[in-house]
Amino acid sequence: MSDSTQWWRGSVIYQIYPRSFMDARGDGVGDLPGITAKLDYIAELGVDAIWISPFFPSPMKDFGYDVTDYRGVDPMFGSFHDFQMLLERAHGLGLKVIIDLVLSHTSDQHHWFVQSRSSRENQKSDWYVWADPKPDGTPPNNWLSFFSGSAWTFDSRRRQYYLHNFLSCQPDLNFHNPAVRKEQLDNARFWLDLGVDGFRLDTSNFYFHSLALQDNPALGSGELKTPSVPASNPYSMQRHQFDISQPENLGFLSELRALMDEYPGTMTVGEISDDRPLERMVEYTIGEDRLHMAYTFDLFDAEFSAQRLRDIIEHFQYYAGDAWPCWALSNHDVMRVVSRWTQHENLEQQGPLVAKLATVMLCSLYGSLCLYQGEELGLPEADVPYERLVDPYGLALWPDYKGRDGCRTPMPWTSGEYGGFTSTEPWLPVDGHHRQLSVERQLADADSTLRVTREFLHWRKSQPAMVDGTLILGDFDDDLLGWLRVSRDQAILAVFNLTDETRHTSLPDGAGEIVYQAGFTAHLENGELTLPAFQAAFVHVDRASIDPRALIDQEPDPERKGFLSRLLGSLMGQDEGGARQG
């Protein structure tokens, strides 16, 4: 990529959940020195950046997503100096550093909220969302917390309710107040001045609420619920029309983008949880005055089928314009993808194959990618016994929903008692099966998920079409998923068999030889591709055989033809430096 300030385009970002990555101090909780000690491992994976979940001072009721100081480091994770050393070492290894900013809400122990709740007249009285009870004393409206129950909690000091989209100890800031917006922008500037390369923005569509406080409507029959919200959570029964994703949000994103533009080479990636997340992703990233990119929960909620994944990709492309996506299959909030994609089909024994397939498929998509720690090992969801659960979300909805602890257990570095993560009892137990999938064991196995992931990421980085080439969905049968990645001078066809049976397909004219094979056993002969169960193939295609104008002209659907014209337009007129794709 010719412009170094655009490093994030086509990048692979490795998410670190600091409590569970590496404990350097031996107290059972991961820390910043532990991350620094493992940066060589991360760099060797072939990723471009790390995203570190919150490490700010916090009472840890939601494990760091309840902040009491936006400019510090919680002693649990180390010192401010430890973070500076981490930043310096990462940059020395060529890794960008992205930190998690939780701007929409604070801890109820933050001094802003302590002052705000003390009276209705103090200087920060309107820094949070306060509202009077209804005449019968009930909450102002029917808004629900993402963690179940009402989004309102009564405070006896003010005799008002305050809004919290998550736990009651996470009051929402009032972004309608200019002073709040300025303070949060100043907090972002603090870390930019320190040298961080960007921000992952937690709940980036939750900053504003409707001032009229209207009731949310019930979710209509056939309407899509917010992805990844379990059916046992009443949050899934509302259409979230007034509590989140308000038009004013775009104004703040523009203010934030203006700040980022003062620091060339920095970026933002927003988390979006919404009833219509793909459209929201496009709305929040299109143009040059909003987020650089965003990701949604669509792939966290998706069934493991070619048709469903094809629908998600096509749906995004149809609305995308010049928006740049960021895709992820796992993170610290959802069941790990290997378990999610094998649980309903009784395919647990196929976990290693599914893990490899999922990773290379994700990293073949158009856009940027997030890999969650342990995903490169193919870790399944850990089995955490009830007496060891700590996640308030899971404790509130047990037993139908077991919460997020199963994806947050310690990283297994070795097969020892505590997985090489710590020398004492860890904050969450190390799953016995995870120890058998440890980094130590997989490095010694050339066919392991870790070794395949490393080799694929390094190969991907050397292929221009795979990094930021246009993606054109292929026309395969229902059991196969595939697409062309096309840059000015290169074309690669990626095909994936998402079933437990061998599949065959004829490849289009111009298809040549398989160009990436490590970890997979696809076979190509006389234009016929054979894909065993859960296998992938990457095939060279003669770039000269791809005529964008012909692809547009042969499309019968007028709306689809317009979409293809937008998608392929830049491909027809790129300069040698590689114009922006898509």
How far apart are alpha carbons 445 and 447 in whole angstroms?
5
Instruction: Identify residue 403 by its one-letter amino acid code.
Output: G
Residue 575's pLDDT is 37
Residue 423 pLDDT > 90: yes
Do 426 and 351 contact (CB within 8 A), yes or no? no
Average the pLDDT over 280-290 and give the result.
94
Instruction: For the chain, give the percent of residues with pLDDT over 90.
Output: 80
The angle formed by the CA atoms of residues 98, 50 and 352, to the nearest 5 degrees, is 145
Do 242 and 143 contact (CB within 8 A), yes or no? yes
**Residue 414 CB neighbour total at 10 angstroms:** 14
How far apart are alpha carbons 70 and 183 in whole angstroms?
10
Residue 123's pLDDT is 97
Q: Looking at beta carbons, which pairs linking 550-554 to residues 24 or more positions away fall under 8 Å?
A: 551/472
Residue 581's pLDDT is 35
Encoded tokens for 160: 């008002």
- The answer to whether 202 is a known catalytic residue is yes
The CA-atom distances, in angstroms, between 574 and each of 462, 491, 553 are 19, 15, 20
Residue 576's pLDDT is 35
Report CA torsion sign: 498, 502, 508, 510. Answer: positive
Residue 64 pLDDT > 60: yes
* Polymer length of the chain: 582
Instruction: For the chain, give the percent of residues with pLDDT over 70.
Output: 93
How far apart are alpha carbons 135 and 322 in whole angstroms?
49
Encoded tokens for 243: 């509590």
Residue 579's pLDDT is 34
Instruction: Give the residue, 244 or 343, on which the prediction is more confident.
Output: 244
In the DSSP assignment, the letter for residue 29 is S
- 3-state secondary structure (DSSP) of residue 513: strand
Q: CA 299 from chain center: how many Å?
A: 9
Q: What is the mean pLDDT of the chain?
A: 92
Strand partners, 163: 152
Do 581 and 470 contact (CB within 8 A), yes or no? yes
The angle formed by the CA atoms of residues 96, 102 and 106, to the nearest 5 degrees, is 150
Residue 580 pLDDT > 70: no
Residue 224's pLDDT is 82
Which of 283-292, 449-458, 570-579 bottoms out in mean pLDDT, i.e. has the lowest? 570-579
Do 170 and 242 contact (CB within 8 A), yes or no? no
Torsion, Cα of 444, 450, 452, 458 (10° steps):
-110
> For residue 290, which of 252, 328, 321, 322 has the smallest C-alpha distance?
252
Helices (H), 161-245: 178-194
Catalytic site residue from 121, 136, 193, 262:
262
Catalytic site residue from 155, 202, 298, 375:
202
- 3-state secondary structure (DSSP) of residue 262: coil
Average the pLDDT over 496-509 and give the result.
92
Buried/exposed code over 459-483 (b: 16+ C-beta within 10 A; e: otherwise): bbbebbbbbbbbbbebebeebbbbb
Write the pLDDT tens digit of every residue in 521-555: 999 999 999 999 999 999 999 998 887 677 666 66
Encoded tokens for 547: 């005529």
How far apart are alpha carbons 162 and 133 in whole angstroms?
10
- The answer to whether 348 is a known catalytic residue is no
Torsion angles phi and psi, residue 172, rounded to 5 = -80, 135
Average the pLDDT over 155-184 and give the result.
98
- 3-state secondary structure (DSSP) of residue 482: strand
Average the pLDDT over 379-399 and give the result.
93
Instruction: Give the residue, 393 or 78, on which the prediction is more confident.
Output: 78
Write the pLDDT tens digit of every residue in 240-256: 999 999 999 999 999 99
How far apart are alpha carbons 560 and 551 in whole angstroms?
11
Write the pLDDT tens digit of every residue in 131-165: 999 999 999 999 999 998 999 999 999 999 999 99
The CA-atom distances, in angstroms, between 93 and each of 407, 455, 482, 496 are 28, 18, 34, 33
Instruction: Identify residue 318 by its one-letter amino acid code.
Output: Y
Average the pLDDT over 561-579 and give the result.
54
Average the pLDDT over 101-109 and give the result.
98
How far apart are alpha carbons 107 and 44 in whole angstroms?
37
| Alpha carbon distance, N-terminus to C-terminus of the chain | 15
In the DSSP assignment, the letter for residue 26 is S
How far apart are alpha carbons 161 and 149 in whole angstroms?
14
Residue 54 half-sphere exposure, CB side, CA atoms within 13 Å?
25
Instruction: Work out the burial of residue 400: count CB atoms within 10 Å of its CB; fewer than 13 is exposed, 13-18 middle, 19 or more buried.
Output: exposed
Bridging pattern class, strands 503-506 and 528-531: antiparallel
How far apart are alpha carbons 514 and 520 in whole angstroms?
11
- 3-state secondary structure (DSSP) of residue 126: coil
How far apart are alpha carbons 465 and 470 in whole angstroms?
7
How far apart are alpha carbons 463 and 205 in whole angstroms?
34
Write the pLDDT tens digit of every residue in 468-495: 999 999 888 778 999 999 998 999 999 9
How far apart are alpha carbons 369 and 378 in whole angstroms?
16
